[in-house]
Amino acid sequence: MSRLKLANKLAGAVRRYYEQVLSAITGFRVSFQQSAHSKAKREGRKKVEWRVEERGYMMKRAMENRREAAGRLAGCLTGWLVGWLTSWVAGDVVGAVAGSLLLVPPMLLVLVLSSMIDAT
């Protein structure tokens, strides 16, 4: 393989790496494109341009973000509802048990007193 081909392959790999890194950082799809303009073509060189594709990539990202936000909201509301129902049911159970425990001593006292009164 000639040195020119090897250099082109290496440049392509480096270009793809930086495109991926910049796309991940910015959230946009970044690509380097070589375009031969007439002046650059006459001089025998190519002009390297940046191109940021916003429309399709950002729409996809926005849909993913919306789905993720909807999932979080649904999870939060479901958790709140389950927690509220659990605490409501548990509160009723605890209230019933506590109420019955609070009612037992006076009832026992009345029974003991009435049996003492009946015994005399």
> CB-based contacts of 30: which residues, under 8 Å, 6+ apart?
19, 22, 23, 50, 51, 52
What residue ranges do the domains of the chain occupy?
3-118
Mean pLDDT per 10-residue run, the chain (120 residues)?
76 77 69 60 58 58 70 74 74 71 67 69
Taking the model in full, what pTM does it have?
0.31
How far apart, in whole angstroms, are the C-alpha atoms of residue 12 and residue 17?
9
Determine the pLDDT at residue 2. 78
Determine the pLDDT at residue 15. 77
